[in-house]
Structure 1
Amino acid sequence: DVPELGEWDIRRAPRLQYVNRNLWMGDVVFDVSCGKRALYKYAVVDERGGVVRESAMPRVTEIPHESGREWADRWS
């Protein structure tokens, strides 16, 4: 629900790179949302544009004020 994550618009969401079956990676630069709480979900978009979204409740994280943060999640 923050601009840097696309504000629930999948067309504006940051893209992650597939590494292997259990790992996707990506970099997101947070500026306007630093220090705020963010709600987010993961989605997979196939080559035809079909979308599969996580079925669980949105995830919640606090965007730090300092630069750089790494986190890991499991698909649900």
Structure 2
Amino acid sequence: MKKEIHPKYFPNSHATCACGAKHVVGSTMEKIGVEICSSCHPFYTGADKLMDTAGRVEKFKQRRAKSDSAKSGKDRSGAVIKKS
């Protein structure tokens, strides 16, 4: 077997979450930065997070209005488009 091919293992690595929670884990990296952890994940905390549904609805309405105007033969300004 080849010697010294495995990375160095740190049994007391520090994983720091974006929420500020710190966890001690074993890893090949000394310091780890994560975006979400068990301290702030909605599944573990039971708290619901509101998504940006209002922005999505507005985008959908704009796309629908755009497609309806294309079907009616008018451009965005309301002028009639002549088809040849």
TM-score normalized with structure 2 length:
0.16
Larger Rg belongs to: 2
Higher RCO, 1 or 2 (CA under 8 Å, sep at least 6)? 1
Higher strand share goes to which structure? Answer: 1
Structure 1 length as normaliser, TM-score? 0.17
Higher helix share: 2
